[in-house]
Amino acid sequence: MPHDGPSVARATVPRRFATADGRGAFLEGDNVAGLDELLRDGSGSVTLAYLDPPFDTGRVFETQGRLAVDGVSVAYDDRWSDRAAWLEALASRLTRIRELLAPHGSVVVHVDSRTSHYVKVLMDELFGEENFASEIIWRYRRWPSKTRNYQRVHDVMLRYRKDARVEGRWNPLYEDLAPSTKATWGTRKQKAVVDATGKRVRSMSEDQESKGVPMGDVWDIGVVAPVARERTGYPSQKPEALLNRLITGLSNEGDLVIDPYAGSGTTAAVAWKLGRRFVTMDSGEASREVVRARLGAIGAELLDDPREEISKDPRKEVAA
Amino acid sequence: MPHDGPSVARATVPRRFATADGRGAFLEGDNVAGLDELLRDGSGSVTLAYLDPPFDTGRVFETQGRLAVDGVSVAYDDRWSDRAAWLEALASRLTRIRELLAPHGSVVVHVDSRTSHYVKVLMDELFGEENFASEIIWRYRRWPSKTRNYQRVHDVMLRYRKDARVEGRWNPLYEDLAPSTKATWGTRKQKAVVDATGKRVRSMSEDQESKGVPMGDVWDIGVVAPVARERTGYPSQKPEALLNRLITGLSNEGDLVIDPYAGSGTTAAVAWKLGRRFVTMDSGEASREVVRARLGAIGAELLDDPREEISKDPRKEVAA
DNA sequence: GCAGTTAATGAATCGCATG
DNA sequence: CCATGCGATTCATTAACTG
């Protein structure tokens, strides 16, 4: 019984929850409505948007195992009539996100290796090809499946800048030197030596310790282990290490990070820990409860936040 | 002065070179003509086609360094009026390759992380989405560039089967177990234990040694170092290890492997070493000379092979 | 305590049984 | 006959337990 996901037309105003200090918020309801809510006075306010939409797998996912949420089993429904419908739903989120992004901001979409291509063609149109920044490969390890093919062990994340002409947010990250480099050079910096004619003659190592090599676009990060403390029971949970690299590299403290597909709340939890502001959204009860528990455990209890108070933005009233 | 690459319409018959035993051939000329030549009596004869076309970089590549070919500097011209023209040129090769493939055969296209998406959309149309097999990530290490972004350190290879309903060629390859697995399980196989009701209760290790984990679709292989013995001086040369994994996994000894963009002849060299038959093509003199030298060094001297003899296929004459 | 061992289970994938 | 389901496969990871 394929359907086309939650109706885009549904105009229900999302229910809002927020941390006591207002640094983080969860909007319960359709994320199109949630994004529209943000757009009311938040155009250009977002530094980083991370989207982890359902991958068009044609399946229904449920909360699992010992951590299953009581009385709530369906986490999300990933059945679509066809790819065009799936892409259209994604596009309606992305156009709103483009509006929300600050000039220095960027958006990262997480997809699998069967759908990334269609998403990039779409995003090249929406954001402009000149704003494509990276195809990031998440390489993980898992149990082997019986297949006469190379095992599928990677996901893809596509990053676009809002505007490549503007200097975007960027905090350099480093990773370990390659084993062969360590063997030859130790962990000291290399320095090219040039002769009088400008020709390179050799490299030598400096006294200074190298910070490692600048982070590449292939990330080897383990999946969240079935028994890890980090695990919430929500399906397809992403590792905190993954979000850490994105949020640290692409936003500063105090910046606003959004995630329209909250799921288990990894983006919110990492953003909070890193001192970023966040807004995350999900229509499922399962998500709301998992996120509430997860944030509570790190001192960011979500409280009911009546809309009336939120809509009173002093600047708006002055402007009117 | 952008142009649209070698004209597809040019009907020049390629000049043919072959190894003494006929196990390998080099066709000098436009590869469309080369593929048409193969199609004359080779439909369904190819087990593996590997294509490493120019990446639509808008640049002209030249032979380099100490190994530059005397008097021949332009290796290939990668300037196209637009992406559509580039894709169309690729499509005209791929439709011919589809014809050439055996039912158990497959094709691998090597592209970079900016163009892979358009190529997959094209190939989904040409080969059918159900025949998509893998997006293989080649992760390499290189000198870091100064960029406010994650370093680009991967290429992409797309594999399609000719016909997913047919059991394709497949020779399983293995890689090392993860360090954490070795620490917990040693190198012995794991086995799930189920109770009477069919519920999984625990896992245990078997006596049998594990062969390692089945090869994944992310390959960490070093680029051919500027001073490596493997190096030919031809630009964008691919490592032999890469072709080794493809040819070993996707073809058997005696199978026919083709590569319409010979370049430095890596496919030909590896196919020869692995006992496969091969046909490779290139229009450049630089390529022909590099390939000749490279094959000569491993005992596969290319000889002039007049067309007259080749067209005499005894089976054809009997059938006629 | 700390090191080594045991337990538990997952955005997999194919093949065969079942409707 | 085509769609759906469930069994079999056996790696990666970390918590919990044991000495």
Question: Phi then psi for A114, rounded to 5 degrees?
Answer: -100, -20
Q: Picking from A11-20, A23-32, B184-193, B310-319, which range would have the lowest pLDDT averaged per residue?
A: B310-319
3-state secondary structure of B188: strand
List for chain B the helix, strand, coil content (%; round to 5): 30, 30, 40
Burial class (CB in 10 A: 0-12, 13-18, 19+), A4: middle
Sign of the four-CA dihedral A202, A208, A214, A219: positive
As a whole number, mean pLDDT of residues A33-52 equals 96
Task: Strands of A79-165 (E only): list them.
Answer: 101-112, 132-139, 154-161
Enumerate long-range contacts of A161-167, CB under 8 Å, 24 or more apart. A161/A105, A161/A106, A161/A127, A161/A131, A161/A133, A162/A98, A162/A101, A162/A102, A162/A103, A162/A104, A162/A105, A162/A106, A162/A107, A162/A127, A162/A131, A163/A103, A163/A131, A164/A130, A164/A131, A164/A133, A166/A103, A166/A104, A167/A104, A167/B148
DSSP assignment of A156-217 equals EEEEEES-TTS-------EEPPPHHHHHHHTTEEEEEEE-TTS-EEEEEEEEEEP--EEPBS
Q: Picking from A141-155, B67-81, B242-256, which range would have the lowest pLDDT averaged per residue?
A: B67-81
Average pLDDT, chain B: 86
Task: Kindly tell me if the per-residue pLDDT of A215 is higher than 90.
Answer: yes
Span A81-116, pLDDT tens digits = 778 888 999 999 999 999 999 999 999 999 999 899
Query: 127-146 in B: which are within 8 Å (CB) of A?
Result: 132-137, 139, 141, 144
Cα–chain center distance at A236: 13
Whether the CB-CB separation of A267 and A277 falls below 8 Å is answered with: no
3-state secondary structure of B205: strand
Residue A4 per-residue DSSP state: B
Nucleotide showing the shortest C1' distance to residue A59 CA: C11
**Cα–Cα distance measured from residue B245 to residue B238, given in angstroms and rounded to the nearest whole number:** 12
Lookup: tokens for A11: 């105009």
Owner of token pair 């359902």: A54
Q: What pLDDT, on the 0 to 100 scale, is given for residue A182?
A: 65
For residue B217, the distance in angstroms to the closest alpha carbon of chain A comes to 5
Q: What pLDDT, on the 0 to 100 scale, is given for residue A151?
A: 96
Better-scored residue on pLDDT, A147 or A311: A147
Cβ of A154 within 8 Å of Cβ of B214? The answer is: no
Say which CATH architecture domain A15-173+216-319 belongs to.
3-Layer(aba) Sandwich (3.40)
As a whole number, mean pLDDT of residues B84-97 equals 95
Instruction: State whether residue A118 sits within 8 Å of chain B by CB.
Output: yes
Span B189-233, pLDDT tens digits = 888 777 777 677 777 777 778 889 999 999 999 998 878 888 888
Cβ of B222 within 8 Å of Cβ of A116? The answer is: no
Task: Kindly tell me if the per-residue pLDDT of B101 is higher than 90.
Answer: yes
Sign of the four-CA dihedral A10, A11, A17, A23: positive
DSSP assignment of A278-320 equals EEEEES-HHHHHHHHHHHHHTT--EEE--HHHHH--HHHHHH-
Span B224-266, pLDDT tens digits = 887 888 888 888 899 999 999 999 999 999 999 999 999 999 9
Whether the CB-CB separation of B223 and B142 falls below 8 Å is answered with: yes
pLDDT band at A199 (very low <50, low <70, confident <90, very high): low
Q: List the nucleotides on chain C closer than 7 A to a protein CB.
A: 5-15
Q: What pLDDT, on the 0 to 100 scale, is given for residue A226?
A: 83
Whether the CB-CB separation of B290 and B69 falls below 8 Å is answered with: yes
Lookup: tokens for A238: 């992403």
Stretch (H or E) spanning B290: helix B285-297
- Neighbour tally for A30: CB within 10 Å: 22
Q: What pLDDT, on the 0 to 100 scale, is given for residue B11?
A: 57
Q: Is the CB of B204 under 7 A from strand D?
A: no
**Cα–Cα distance measured from residue B294 to residue B26, given in angstroms and rounded to the nearest whole number:** 12
Cβ of A218 within 8 Å of Cβ of B135? The answer is: no
Better-scored residue on pLDDT, A1 or B247: B247
**Cα–Cα distance measured from residue B109 to residue B93, given in angstroms and rounded to the nearest whole number:** 11
Q: What pLDDT, on the 0 to 100 scale, is given for residue A320?
A: 35
Q: Picking from A8-17, A23-32, A303-312, B259-268, which range would have the lowest pLDDT averaged per residue?
A: A303-312
Give the residue nearest to nucleotide C11 (CA to C1'). Answer: A236
Question: Phi then psi for B199, rounded to 5 degrees?
Answer: -85, 145
User: Angle of helix A116-127 relative to helix A83-100, nearest 10 degrees?
Assistant: 40
Task: Kindly tell me if the per-residue pLDDT of B68 is higher than 90.
Answer: no
Instruction: Select the residue of B141, B150, B215 nearest A217 (Cβ to Cβ).
Output: B150
Q: Picking from A161-165, A221-225, A228-232, B199-203, which range would have the lowest pLDDT averaged per residue?
A: B199-203
Task: Give percent of chain A with pLDDT exceeding 70.
Answer: 75
Cα–chain center distance at A217: 15
Question: Phi then psi for A51, rounded to 5 degrees?
Answer: -125, 130
Average pLDDT, chain A: 85
Whether the CB-CB separation of B112 and A120 falls below 8 Å is answered with: no
Lookup: tokens for A317: 């009233």
pLDDT band at A298 (very low <50, low <70, confident <90, very high): very high
**Could you tell me the pTM of the whole model?**
0.89
Q: What pLDDT, on the 0 to 100 scale, is given for residue B1?
A: 44
**Cα–Cα distance measured from residue B184 to residue B88, given in angstroms and rounded to the nearest whole number:** 52
As a whole number, mean pLDDT of residues B138-156 equals 95
Q: Picking from A31-40, A80-89, A191-200, B231-240, which range would have the lowest pLDDT averaged per residue?
A: A191-200
Instruction: Return the closest-CA partner of residue B158 out of B41, B283, B50.
Output: B50
Range among A33-37, A74-78, B177-181, B309-313 with highest mean pLDDT value? A33-37
3-state secondary structure of B157: strand
Strand pairing category for B24-28 and B200-209: unpaired
Span A239-279, pLDDT tens digits = 999 999 999 999 999 999 999 999 999 999 999 999 999 99
Task: Kindly tell me if the per-residue pLDDT of A10 is higher than 60.
Answer: no
Per CB-CB distance under 8 Å, the chain B contacts of A153 are 216-218
Question: Where do the CATH 3.40.50.150 domains begin and end in chain B?
Answer: 15-173+216-319
**Cα–Cα distance measured from residue A59 to residue B162, given in angstroms and rounded to the nearest whole number:** 28
Per CB-CB distance under 8 Å, the chain A contacts of B225 are none
